[in-house]
Amino acid sequence: MTQPARILVIFGTRPEAIKLFPVVHALKADPRFECVVCVSAQHRQMLDQVLEIAGIVPDHDLDVMRPDQTLDALTANLLTGLGRVMDEVQPDRVIVQGDTATAMSGALAAYYRKVPVDHVEAGLRSYNIYHPWPEEVNRKIIGAMASLHFAPTATSAAALINENVDPTRVHVTGNTVIDALHWVSAKIEAQPALAAGLAELEAKFAGKRIIGVTSHRRENFGEGMEQIAQAIRRIAGRPDTAVIFPVHLNPNVRKVMNERLSGLDNVALIEPLDYPHFARLLNIAEIMLTDSGGVQEEAPALGKPVLVMRETTERPEGVEAGTAKLVGTSADTIVTEISTLLDDTTAYEAMARAHNPFGDGQSARRIVELLAHEIGQQA
Ligand code: UD1
Ligand code: UDP
């Protein structure tokens, strides 16, 4: 029997972990592959929350997170650290996901060693290099080096082909975040205790209409965060409404939100939720207000209206499906849009329909078959 292909899967932040655990599970279950996991730990606590629920013990952990780390120090540490791991592991192929500093550095370190790098969630484009920043450029850099491009949708595949990427290297696989969401939903159904930690808040806010909030984008730091905080304050002034806001651990987010929103009766500023609890929040919220990429993909799958606090999005599919709406970061606009959804049932129902533009939950399986085909070990 031929040797299994050694695949080094690299990730470092919460969303990469969520979107790659289905791929890691699928690779580990397949004898055609030897799956080696390296985490950069660009995030620490928020990464470990995902590793724990997904049952993944990394083979390598670079532990690079430093408080309020700068992009250049982070990137330099990632590149040298990931290069060292590659020299030790000697992988046949490397997998990275998305657009973080870890993904970009992992792809670059692989390219420097002429190891083929496969890109999960390829081809997302906002066509604005400062929105989202620095992710738009990170994914273009990865795209320039990738061997296989796993595009989540036809739109992202077309974006790559328009950039003259060889169409035979581009595959529409769906987004693995839907695989992750299905997996965690099944797990919660089997073990409801996994998502029971919000019960106290749910009781406190019983009868109120829940708005779930997340925010962390670098381009929103400063004035954007101030506006978002002001909008939440005003929305929470409505006695029929409550806000549940798991606050990202980035100090640039926490400082503003703690200063502006602490002590308000209708606002629960809480620690980042593990994935089962966040899935629960997605279910109990009437509206999601977010600048997150992943939440824009999960909300349409659950038919949850999502107001996106960004100027542009590289995920137009949610907007086209009608479940997502771009609202920017002006407090006035955010308050108007939320009030419309709360007060106008027709407007709400027009958005609250489940769509699956980002996939059917089978993306990891497709990716693994495409990899098997690539290494010539197709079953
Ligand atoms: C990173 C990614 C962004 C992704 C986001 C997901 C880059 C450049 N940015 O942004 O694309 O959307 O993750 O959340 O790759 N921190 C902790 N504990 C944690 C995580 C973060 O304390 O578990 C704090 C640290 O002070 C850290 C800071 O947050 O220095 C910023 O983390 P970093 O990974 O640089 O950026 P994010 O804003 O999280
Ligand atoms: N998420 C989570 N707990 C939280 C907030 C978000 O598990 O408290 C999940 C969410 O379901 C989504 C992912 O984290 O899958 C999004 O991560 P984030 O918003 O940090 O990054 P982005 O997607 O914007 O890169």
Q: Class of 5-174+362-378 per CATH?
A: alpha beta
Q: Using the mean position of ligand 1's atoms as its centre, give its distance from the Cα of residue 216 in Å.
A: 8
Q: What is the pLDDT of residues 149-181, one digit of tens each?
A: 999 999 999 999 999 999 999 999 999 999 999
Average pLDDT rounded to a whole number, residues 269-297: 97
Q: Using the mean position of ligand 1's atoms as its centre, give its distance from the Cα of residue 125 in Å.
A: 21
Contact of 7 with 93, CB cutoff 8 Å: yes
Q: Check pLDDT > 90 for residue 378.
A: no
Q: What is the pLDDT of residues 52-87, one digit of tens each?
A: 999 999 999 999 999 999 999 999 999 999 999 999
Q: What is the pLDDT of residues 85-97, one digit of tens each?
A: 999 999 999 999 9
Q: Using the mean position of ligand 2's atoms as its centre, give its distance from the Cα of residue 168 in Å.
A: 32
Using CB atoms within 10 Å of the CB of residue 321, give its burial: 0 to 12 exposed, 13 to 18 middle, 19+ buried.
middle
Ligand 1 pocket, residue 46 CB under 6 Å:
yes
Give the pLDDT of residue 220: 93
The SS3 assignment for 83 reads helix
Give the pLDDT of residue 86: 98
Using CB atoms within 10 Å of the CB of residue 318, give its burial: 0 to 12 exposed, 13 to 18 middle, 19+ buried.
buried
Indicate which atom in ligand 2 lies nearest the CA of residue 294. 23
Task: Please tell me which residue in 99, 274, 314, 317 is annotated as part of the active site.
Answer: 99
Q: Using the mean position of ligand 1's atoms as its centre, give its distance from the Cα of residue 168 in Å.
A: 34
List Cβ neighbours of 113 (8 Å cut-off, separation of 6 or more). Answer: 83, 86, 87
Q: What is the pLDDT of residues 98-125, one digit of tens each?
A: 999 999 999 999 999 999 999 999 999 9
Which one of 42, 52, 131 would you pick to mutate in the ligand 1 pocket, going by the greatest count of ligand atoms within 8 A of its CB? 42
Per-residue pLDDT band at 37 (split at 50, 70, 90): very high
Using CB atoms within 10 Å of the CB of residue 254, give its burial: 0 to 12 exposed, 13 to 18 middle, 19+ buried.
middle
Ligand nearest to the CA of 178: 2
Task: Please tell me which residue in 6, 169, 182, 218 is annotated as part of the active site.
Answer: 218
Average pLDDT rounded to a whole number, residues 302-327: 95
The CATH number given to 197-352 is: 3.40.50.2000
Ligand 1 pocket, residue 35 CB under 6 Å:
no
Tell me where in the chain the CATH 3.40.50.2000 domain(s) lie: 5-174+362-378, 197-352
Ligand 2 pocket, residue 278 CB under 6 Å:
yes
- Asked if 43 is an active-site residue, the reply is no
CA pair distance 60, 87, nearest whole angstrom = 12
pTM: 0.98
Which one of 10, 71, 249 would you pick to mutate in the ligand 1 pocket, going by the greatest count of ligand atoms within 8 A of its CB? 249
List Cβ neighbours of 270 (8 Å cut-off, separation of 6 or more). Answer: 201, 244, 245, 246, 247
Give the pLDDT of residue 355: 84
Closest residue by CA, ligand 1 atom 32: 250
Ligand 1 pocket, residue 376 CB under 6 Å:
no
Task: Please tell me which residue in 248, 277, 315, 366 is annotated as part of the active site.
Answer: 248
Give the pLDDT of residue 377: 62
Contact of 148 with 371, CB cutoff 8 Å: yes
Closest residue by CA, ligand 1 atom 25: 67
